[in-house]
Amino acid sequence: MPFPVLSRSSDAFSRPQSAVTFRLRDGGALDPSGKGVIVMDVIVPIIVQLIGGAIGGNVLAQVVKNLNMGPTWNTVAGIIGAWVLTWIAGRIPGLDGLVGAVATASGDASAGAAAPSGLQAGALAGQGIVGIIGGAVLTAIVGAIKNRSAA
């Protein structure tokens, strides 16, 4: 897979000569146009859930002071918790509609074929909410384990 290469013109921000192509397990490209461009329909939902997780982890740590591990570790635990809970919610029938775009973002070709294309406002809101909850839950679990081991 070729890496993006900047052209050697005087413009340092010129368009790369080649682009990275993401592939599904069955070999099909995520980009329906076949141009090898990263599809924003996949990246935006992931960013939303990760930001939600970071917010959830830090807010919980500020509300419950004895679970606070510092801003960096609260953010890390929140991001991981958001990703895990969003992935789990996407696999549970009934909750998969709440985080609808996760099926296509995870590379599941069968679920992605049935999902509507384009960014869905409801799916983005659901991913943000599930991200906040997942971030708060994992931050609480890790903070409790840290406090128990320190005592």
- Summarize pLDDT for 32-50 with one digit per residue, the tens: 555 554 567 778 888 999 9
pLDDT score at 35: 54
The confidence score (pLDDT) of residue 59 equals 96
Per-residue model confidence (pLDDT) at position 2: 52
Give the pTM.
0.65
Query: How confident is the model over 77-87, as pLDDT tens digits?
Result: 999 999 999 88
CB atoms within 10 A of CB 116: 10
Which residue would you say has higher pLDDT here, 150 or 61? 61
